[in-house]
Structure 1
Amino acid sequence: MFNVRRQLLLTAMCMAAGMGVSAPASAQEFPNKTLTIVVPFSAGGGVDTIARLLAEKLRATLKQNVIVDNKAGGSGMIGAMAVVKAAPDGYTLLLGSAGETAINAFVYKNKMQYSPSKDLAPITLVTRIPNVLVVSPAFPAKNIEELVAYAKKNPGKVAYSTSGVGNPQHLNGELLEELAGIHMVHIPYKGAAGQLIDVVSGNVDMTFVSYTAAKGFIKDGKVKAIAVTSAKRTSFAPDIAAIAEYKPLANYQLENWFGLFAPAGTPDDVLQKLNAAVTQAIKDPELAKKLQDQGGEPAPMSTQQFRDFIKTESVQFQRIVDTAKITAE
């Protein structure tokens, strides 16, 4: 009887040891099935376009099928929540923007059903998306210095449009008001088309919007490009000055950005393999050019660099949201 029990014990130990050895092996074999990149916005938008460009490159790099799944709604939070609830195995990923991964927690507060810092594992930053500040042709300013001077002489009379409350465009306006010491009126729209058309018509003085959405209007002379919101001029529109070039606004910098995330608890070696694959894809000259054509600056980072980046960005976002008392219903 003793020998039988001893044999059973040895067998169980061997099985346990075998299981301990096989777990890392499964991670080393990653990926061995289709990966899904969840886009928390509708098809055809900027995030969706970049996700599909990235998926195309990752199929070759990872030698697996990579599909894009659009789960729009809730200011990006429905799609993010779907990834939070997914198995932490690296097969369901989120291409998220600054909104649902770093801003909404301060705007929506306890209305959010997940914590970006606790429930999502950063993989890498993919691209930074500066907004461009454009004004109507009739607006009496051709650069940021003249715009600030005009706004100071006309407090509360300059109106700017954005695609919603509490998003990076809105924060661009609030930061400009704070650093320049001016007071403007924020008019939120439900998309870039409406916010731009009303600037073209002169119903609204100016807007913060992606360069991709505005470049056709800029080229046709329907709006005037005043400045970009990045710290320096961009590679895709080097003729447009940065707001920070105006010395009183030297500290101005606020961009939207898109990054790749996995559910919290995803094994670190899987995160590192994904980071390496995405970094390789982004550094490909063909994809880098396509990202620039979308108004983005390719910006791959290590997982730790991306975590640190999000923390730094979140500090600025929270300060602006709290100072401006921004809340969303």
Structure 2
Amino acid sequence: MNLSRRLTALALALGSLAPFAAQAQDYPSRNVSIVVPFGAGGGVDITARLLAEKLRTTLGGTVIVENKAGGSGMIGAQAVVKAAPDGHTLLLGSAGETAINPFVYKGRMQYDPAKDLVPVTLVVRVPNVLVVANQLPVKNVEELVAHAKKNPGKLSYSTSGVGNPQHLNGELLEELAGLHMVHIPYRGAAGQLVDVTAGLVDMTFVSYTAAKAFIQAGKVRALAVTSATRAPYAPDLPAIAEYKPLAKYQLENWFGLFAPAGTPDAVVQKLNAAVTAALKDPELAKKLREQGGEPTPMSPQQFKDFIKKESAQFERIVTTARIVAE
């Protein structure tokens, strides 16, 4: 190729990149909306509002939070899927509606997270905490497993619904420890915790934020966290995996930012940089940890790979336990 042709090819290449560069430079051109697919006051909502406040500085412009609850998070997710792919409508999604529901709801979902959403970055990892009723004669995971084995089918555990990370936490414990327990799904953390305090249910898997007041008041007994290692928000609380027979135990909820499929890569990268900068702010990181979340920014590709790995574990547990949402 002679010099003239090389220069022409270079000019064409640079020309083709110009629109994408302009899109990133002009973004955001109006308000950015972060859709939370759950009600106000929950973990995803609080995380979104804390993040939005900081993004107004790192991204620039106005960032608002919209709650679109219902359908196990799928109504809000679908609203983002249908939005214009320009980066102005985003989803702060949890593991449920983005990585678990496809296996629980199968063909009943109206969107495919892997095809219809673009991963921007993981925001926080949110381990659950395992708490038991004070009436239950156990003080650690080892004693719990022994007690459950002596009473097959008699121990019950509550969660905030069928097929969510809390439910999968229970199924994973049953699988790895060889237990048979009774799952009792509730609609929200308040009910599932109140009945544990009353001794109507033996134990529960729940977010630390929801359980914190109950634990501090001595109404329930915290045994462990569901992450592979101890959580920064409760360094004195062991991980379930510290009990050697359950060394492979690890299952956390997590919240991540997504954009509609078709969003220009330059916009995704700008969003990623803005969120990463926000999460590195010590003040925001402290507030997120107080809510039971560990800031864990990733590149879009890293987040995509993370979701793929997590989804494989979720699918295995759902399939093994034969979990089907009604």
- TM-score, structure 2 as length reference: 0.94
Counterpart among 177, 187, 192 of residue 190 in structure 1: 187
Q: Is 1:89 matched with 2:93?
A: no
Partner of 1:153: 150
- Supply the AA of the counterpart residue of 2:186: Y
Partner of 2:207: 210
Q: Distance in 2 between the 1:272 and 1:229 partners?
A: 31
Partner of 1:177: 174
- Supply the AA of the counterpart residue of 1:126: V
Partner of 2:312: 315
Partner of 2:28: 31
Q: Is 1:255 matched with 2:252?
A: yes
Larger Rg: 1
The alignment-based identity, stated in percent, is 76
C-alpha distance 185-64 of structure 1, shift in aligned 2 (>3 A): same
- Please list the CA deviations of residues 175-215 of structure 1 after superposition, one character each: whole Å capped at 9, or x if unmatched: 00000001000000011000000000000000000000101
CA contact (8 A) 2:104 2:324 kept: yes
1:78 shift after superposition: 0.3
Partner of 1:5: none
- Supply the AA of the counterpart residue of 1:304: Q
How large is the RMSD of aligned CA atoms in angstroms?
1.2
Partner of 2:90: helix, strand, or coil?
Answer: strand
Partner of 1:228: 225
CA contact (8 A) 2:176 2:249 kept: yes
Partner of 2:323: helix, strand, or coil?
Answer: coil
C-alpha distance 202-61 of structure 1, shift in aligned 2 (>3 A): same
Q: Distance in 2 between the 1:252 and 1:23 partners?
A: 44
Partner of 2:238: helix, strand, or coil?
Answer: coil
Partner of 1:221: helix, strand, or coil?
Answer: coil
- Please list the CA deviations of residues 161-182 of structure 1 after superposition, one character each: whole Å capped at 9, or x if unmatched: 0000000000000000000001
Q: Distance in 2 between the 1:285 and 1:178 partners?
A: 39
- Please list the CA deviations of residues 79-113 of structure 1 after superposition, one character each: whole Å capped at 9, or x if unmatched: 00000001111110000000000000000000000
1:19 shift after superposition: 9.0
CA contact (8 A) 2:228 2:241 kept: yes
Q: Distance in 2 between the 1:223 and 1:184 partners?
A: 19
Counterpart among 94, 100, 103 of residue 103 in structure 1: 100
Partner of 1:239: 236
Partner of 1:324: 321
Structure 2: stretches of 5+ with no match in the other structure: 1-13
C-alpha distance 22-174 of structure 1, shift in aligned 2 (>3 A): closer
Q: Distance in 1 between the 2:83 and 2:61 partners?
A: 19
Q: Is 1:66 matched with 2:59?
A: no
Partner of 2:149: helix, strand, or coil?
Answer: helix
CA contact (8 A) 2:39 2:45 kept: yes
- TM-score, structure 1 as length reference: 0.93
Partner of 1:124: helix, strand, or coil?
Answer: strand
Counterpart among 258, 274, 277 of residue 274 in structure 2: 277
- Supply the AA of the counterpart residue of 1:210: S
- Please list the CA deviations of residues 252-303 of structure 1 after superposition, one character each: whole Å capped at 9, or x if unmatched: 0000000000001111111110000000001100000000010111111111
- Supply the AA of the counterpart residue of 1:130: P
Counterpart among 43, 48, 51 of residue 45 in structure 2: 48
- Supply the AA of the counterpart residue of 2:49: R
- Supply the AA of the counterpart residue of 1:198: D
Q: Distance in 2 between the 1:162 and 1:109 partners?
A: 21
- Supply the AA of the counterpart residue of 1:289: K
CA contact (8 A) 2:24 2:270 kept: no
CA contact (8 A) 2:23 2:267 kept: no
- Supply the AA of the counterpart residue of 2:192: Q
Partner of 1:93: helix, strand, or coil?
Answer: strand
1:246 shift after superposition: 0.3
CA contact (8 A) 2:34 2:66 kept: yes
1:20 shift after superposition: 7.6
Q: Distance in 2 between the 1:75 and 1:63 partners?
A: 31
Partner of 1:82: helix, strand, or coil?
Answer: helix
